[in-house]
């Protein structure tokens, strides 16, 4: 880890960007800032997108909804507020509802080299 990545309070800062499209035949490229995270440097960075239900997750109510593509990438922010180049993207497939009233099964974790892993 680069020393200028650690911010006051022993925190690291990340910006998570997300893009989605309505058709599985298209590649999402309309990225928007989904979240800005400050995570303790001793913790494993993780991000949960509660706006996306992963296709086939156990929270679906019976019939499957429509599938759609979702992509994410991350940029780190150093203590000077300089923003890194984007990480590699990670892709998953979202599903439209209806869903149970519980947390979705869609944890997206950011590993230390700032790429994303879908668990």
Residues 65 and 94 sit within 8 Å (Cβ to Cβ):
no
Q: Per-residue b/e over 2-36, b at no fewer than 16 CB within 10 Å?
A: eeebbbeeeebbbbbbbbbbeeeeeebeeeeebee
Give the separation between CA 49 and CA 72, rounded to whole angstroms: 10
| Span 42-78, pLDDT tens digits | 998 888 887 777 666 555 555 567 888 999 999 999 9
CA angle 102, 105, 109 (to 5 degrees): 130
Q: What is the pLDDT of residues 8-28, one digit of tens each?
A: 889 999 999 999 988 889 899
Enter the pTM of the model.
Answer: 0.73
């Amino acid at each position: 880890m680069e020393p200028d990545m650690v911010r006051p309070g022993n925190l690291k800062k990340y910006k998570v960007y997300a893009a989605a499209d309505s058709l599985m035949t298209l590649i999402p490229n309309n990225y928007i800032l989904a979240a800005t995270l400050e995570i303790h440097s001793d913790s494993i960075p993780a991000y949960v997108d509660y706006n996306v239900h992963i296709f086939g997750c156990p929270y679906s109510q019976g019939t499957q909804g429509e599938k759609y593509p979702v992509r994410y990438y991350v940029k780190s922010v150093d203590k000077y507020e300089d923003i890194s180049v984007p990480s590699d993207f990670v892709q998953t497939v979202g599903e439209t509802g209806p869903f149970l009233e519980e947390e979705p099964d869609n944890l997206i974790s950011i590993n230390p080299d700032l790429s994303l892993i879908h668990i």
